[in-house]
């Protein structure tokens, strides 16, 4: 027997089924057996395995014996030249096993190899290659130096950031999600240490293989998908404690007594530090923007008050009391902030309609307070009106500026719309649409895309979710799509039409009711009113930027169009090529997309008519200012 594949399962029925479909194709032409060890799952995982994959060897544990012991059970029962430990939430391309086995056959010193892994969002997983977590390596990671210097050989050694992930490398530690080992190396390393219940055993095994005289390699040319966290939720605090406890076991076993003590101290510090940082980060992230809004408004109002004093209210001398400037004004700002909070203006993703609603609500609070206040506290309604204009300008400008800061994740120009692209057989499209009806998020558009034109069609139609037909695409093609389009923040799901389900990183859909036909958004009066309000607000905003617009070419183009937009002759964003079948709107200053392909342009216009809202228009304007 050339290869034994061992998969430990715990309540991930659909991920396991998908994994076995990919394994079945990957072992074609290889003398291999597959073992599934179940750790007392309460779903119907094993019934599914026995029914759909009768060639799989099954071991049913009456209790959860942990990852290490479950893998050892199957390894002892099997007899092959190579052993592969594989997580159930993985997908193997058809040529993966052949590539890895060929590499290991040609590198006899290689005792274990791992591969390049991408998660369910198409993001490269840095734990595909790791360094030995010595006390100093752990120190650099725990205290954030590895993040500050991600390419440093010294500070980023935990994930070996100095090594090119696109090249095969000799490394120190592999991830347990995919570990291909020679049987001899596995035996000499002593199998998996069952002291570890979960996490850390892959570090221990990799290090033990190195100590047994073998090398550990990372292969960049055999990528897989590892959804990561579907078997165990890795974002939980419980995960942190289990993982760090595993690190303590490793330190006591492999490091000298002095090093182990230092490591133990570091780990315990890390647990408390991480908890404190998490709480602090949460507080700062929630308070930073409201506090900034109050400070910016209060500061700007001092200039407005001074202008009003000198040119209107106190021309012949005098001024408003400091109590008004530094006491009442911050209260006004606080009321606007309360309005924004109540309207969801600080909730991410930040939405323009929620911001405007919050500002209107805050203005209402201020006028109510003004009306109920004694005469000595009623200073100026004109300043309230000017203040509301300043607050609107300041809030929108702050959000606009922050949205360009890397990592801010404001989502200001994002949309809740679900714009789905389907890649597969046309006969399966209706079945996939019926599966989508079980989701709480409504379907905005659904287009059948061509793999050859995927890049241009995704751009033209603003696709934010791709559904991949497993019957039409190979797992190698699916992996490549994850890899290429993950950086575009597109959500992925893989459909199994014949089985009646599809699966994504955070969702599983089974059969539902068919979706009804969706009308055009631009046919709805509410959407058109919001669009017109947005047009007017953009005009006012551009007028406040007049000194800047004179020198900025693209802003200048928009500024000159404000008059025709304000008079209702044009709208800021419209179709590129209006068709009679689309709702009638004013001519756009800029088209939603400007494409050379006429058929693709027609699809883009149709998608805009179906999903138009002020966030879509805002993104189009920002795209014009960035790229023209």
Q: How far apart are CA 96 and CA 604, in angstroms?
A: 37
Please give, one letter per residue, the 3-state secondary structure of 210-235: HHCCCEEEEEEEEEEEECCCCCCCCC
pLDDT at 417: 78
In a domain, 295, yes or no: yes
Q: What is the H or E stretch that residue 241 is in?
A: helix 237-254
Among 579, 580, 574, 563, CA closest to 620: 574
Return the CATH number at 36. Answer: 3.90.550.10
Domain end residue (candidates: 355, 373, 402): 402
Task: Say whether both 224 and 77 belong to one domain.
Answer: yes
Phi-psi region of 213 (alpha: psi -120 to 50; beta: other; left: phi over 0): left
Q: What confidence tier does 512 reach under pLDDT thresholds 50, 70, 90? A: very low
pLDDT tens by residue, 343-385: 888 887 777 788 888 999 999 999 988 888 888 888 888 899 9
- 542 vs 139: which has the higher pLDDT: 542
Task: Say whether both 287 and 350 belong to one domain.
Answer: yes
In a domain, 516, yes or no: no
Cβ partners under 8 Å of residue 100, min gap 6: 113, 115, 180, 219, 222
pLDDT at 529: 87
pLDDT at 350: 78
Q: Are 607 and 518 in contact (CB under 8 A)?
A: no
3-state secondary structure (DSSP) of residue 523: helix
Q: Are 59 and 179 in contact (CB under 8 A)?
A: no
Flag the least confident range among 98-112, 116-130, 194-208, 474-488: 194-208
Average pLDDT over residues 569-576: 92
pLDDT tens by residue, 154-202: 999 989 999 999 999 999 999 999 999 999 999 999 898 887 666 678 8
Which tokens in the block code for residue 49?
């395995």
Task: Say whether both 495 and 536 belong to one domain.
Answer: no
Strands 508-510 and 491-496: unpaired
Task: Say whether both 341 and 486 belong to one domain.
Answer: no
Task: Say whether both 390 and 468 belong to one domain.
Answer: no
Count Cβ neighbours within 10 Å for each residue of 334-363 and write b for 16 or more, e otherwise. Answer: bbbbebbeebebbeeebbbbbbbbbbebbb
Task: Say whether both 91 and 34 belong to one domain.
Answer: yes
pLDDT at 478: 96
pLDDT at 317: 79
Domain end residue (candidates: 350, 372, 402): 402
In a domain, 155, yes or no: no
Task: Say whether both 354 and 440 belong to one domain.
Answer: no
In a domain, 220, yes or no: yes
Flag the least confident range among 176-185, 289-298, 554-563: 554-563
Which tokens in the block code for residue 40?
């007392």
In a domain, 253, yes or no: no
Cβ partners under 8 Å of residue 496, min gap 6: 18, 21, 470, 471, 502, 503
Whether the bond between 383 and the residue before it is cis, its omega within 30 degrees of 0, is no
In a domain, 221, yes or no: yes
Task: Say whether both 364 and 316 belong to one domain.
Answer: yes
Task: Say whether both 208 and 334 belong to one domain.
Answer: no
Q: What confidence tier does 260 reach under pLDDT thresholds 50, 70, 90? A: low
Among 175, 198, 178, CA closest to 64: 198
Which tokens in the block code for residue 431?
């079945």
Domain total for the chain?
A: 4
Domain of 482, in residue numbers: 419-510
Flag the least confident range among 290-304, 498-512, 565-579: 498-512
Q: What is the H or E stretch that residue 331 is in?
A: helix 329-342
Does the pLDDT at position 315 exceed 70? yes
In a domain, 369, yes or no: yes
pLDDT tens by residue, 466-497: 999 999 999 999 999 999 998 888 899 999 98
pLDDT at 238: 55
pLDDT at 614: 85
Q: What confidence tier does 255 reach under pLDDT thresholds 50, 70, 90? A: low
| 24 CB burial (10 A radius; 0-12, 13-18, 19+) | middle
Task: Say whether both 394 and 453 belong to one domain.
Answer: no
In a domain, 248, yes or no: no
Task: Say whether both 426 and 393 belong to one domain.
Answer: no
Q: How far apart are CA 9 and CA 41, in angstroms?
A: 8
| Mean confidence (pLDDT) of the chain | 86
pLDDT at 514: 30
Q: How far apart are CA 397 and CA 537, in angstroms?
A: 13
Does the pLDDT at position 316 exceed 70? yes
Domain end residue (candidates: 228, 249, 273): 228
3-state secondary structure (DSSP) of residue 403: coil
pLDDT at 231: 41
3-state secondary structure (DSSP) of residue 414: coil
Task: Say whether both 536 and 490 belong to one domain.
Answer: no
pTM: 0.75
Among 273, 282, 280, 210, CA closest to 244: 273
Q: Are 322 and 309 in contact (CB under 8 A)?
A: no
Alpha helices per DSSP H over 6-94 = 13-26, 45-52, 67-77
């Amino acid at each position: 027997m050339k290869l034994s594949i061992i998969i430990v399962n715990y309540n991930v029925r659909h991920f396991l089924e998908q994994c076995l479909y990919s394994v079945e194709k990957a072992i074609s032409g290889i003398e291999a057996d597959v073992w599934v060890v179940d750790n007392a799952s309460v779903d119907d995982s094993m019934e599914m395995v026995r029914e759909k994959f009768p060639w799989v060897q099954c071991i049913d544990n009456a209790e959860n014996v942990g990852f290490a012991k479950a893998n050892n059970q199957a390894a002892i029962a099997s007899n092959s030249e190579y052993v592969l430990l594989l997580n159930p939430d993985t997908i193997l391309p058809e040529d993966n096993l052949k590539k890895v086995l060929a590499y290991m056959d040609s590198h006899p010193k290689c005792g274990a190899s791992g591969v390049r892994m991408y998660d369910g969002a198409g993001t490269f997983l840095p734990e595909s290659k790791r360094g030995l977590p010595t006390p100093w390596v752990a120190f650099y990671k725990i205290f954030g130096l590895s993040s500050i210097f991600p390419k440093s050989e010294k500070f980023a050694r935990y994930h070996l950031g100095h090594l090119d992930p696109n090249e095969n490398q000799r490394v120190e530690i592999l991830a347990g999600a995919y570990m291909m080992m020679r049987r001899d190396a596995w035996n000499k390393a002593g199998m998996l240490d069952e002291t570890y219940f979960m996490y850390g055993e892959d570090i221990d095994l990799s290090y033990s293989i190195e100590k047994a005289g073998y090398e550990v390699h990372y292969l960049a040319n055999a990528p897989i998908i590892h959804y990561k966290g579907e078997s165990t939720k890795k974002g939980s605090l419980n995960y942190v404690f289990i993982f760090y406890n595993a690190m303590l076991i490793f330190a006591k076993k492999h490091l000298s007594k002095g090093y182990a003590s230092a490591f133990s101290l570091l780990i315990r510090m890390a647990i408390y530090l991480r908890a404190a940082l998490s709480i602090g980060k949460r507080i700062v992230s929630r308070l930073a923007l409201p506090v900034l809004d109050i400070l910016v408004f209060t500061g700007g109002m001092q200039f407005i008050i001074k202008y009003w004093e000198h040119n209107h209210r106190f021309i012949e001398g005098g001024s408003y009391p400091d109590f008004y400037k530094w006491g009442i004004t911050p209260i006004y700002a606080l009321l606007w902030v309360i309005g924004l909070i109540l309207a969801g203006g600080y909730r991410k993703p930040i939405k323009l309609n929620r911001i405007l609603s919050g500002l209107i609500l805050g203005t209402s609070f201020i006028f109510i307070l003004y009306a109920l206040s004694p005469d000595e506290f009623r200073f100026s309604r004109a300043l309230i009106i000017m203040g509301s204009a300043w607050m609107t300008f300041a809030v929108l400008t702050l959000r606009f500026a922050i949205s360009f800061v890397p990592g801010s994740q404001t989502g200001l120009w994002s949309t809740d719309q679900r714009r789905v692209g389907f890649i597969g057989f046309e006969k399966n499209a209706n079945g996939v649409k019926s599966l989508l009806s079980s989701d709480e998020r409504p379907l905005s558009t659904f287009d059948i895309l061509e793999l050859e034109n995927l890049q241009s069609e995704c751009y033209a139609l603003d696709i934010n979710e791709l559904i991949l037909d497993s019957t039409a695409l190979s797992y190698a093609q699916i992996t490549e799509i994850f890899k290429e389009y993950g950086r575009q923040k597109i959500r992925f799901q893989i459909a199994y039409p014949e089985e009646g389900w599809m699966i994504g990183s955070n969702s599983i859909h089974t059969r539902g009711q068919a979706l009804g036909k969706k009308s055009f958004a631009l046919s709805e009066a509410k959407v058109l009113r919001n669009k017109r309000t947005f047009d007017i607000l953009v005009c006012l905003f551009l007028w406040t930027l007049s000194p800047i617009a004179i020198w900025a070419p693209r802003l200048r183009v928009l500024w000159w169009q404000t008059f025709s937009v304000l008079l209702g002759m044009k709208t800021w964003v419209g179709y590129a090529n209006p068709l009679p079948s689309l709702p009638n709107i004013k001519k756009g200053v800029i088209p939603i997309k400007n494409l050379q392909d006429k058929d693709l342009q027609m699809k883009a216009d149709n998608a805009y008519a179906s999903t138009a809202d002020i966030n879509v228009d805002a993104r189009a304007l920002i795209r014009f200012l960035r790229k023209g």
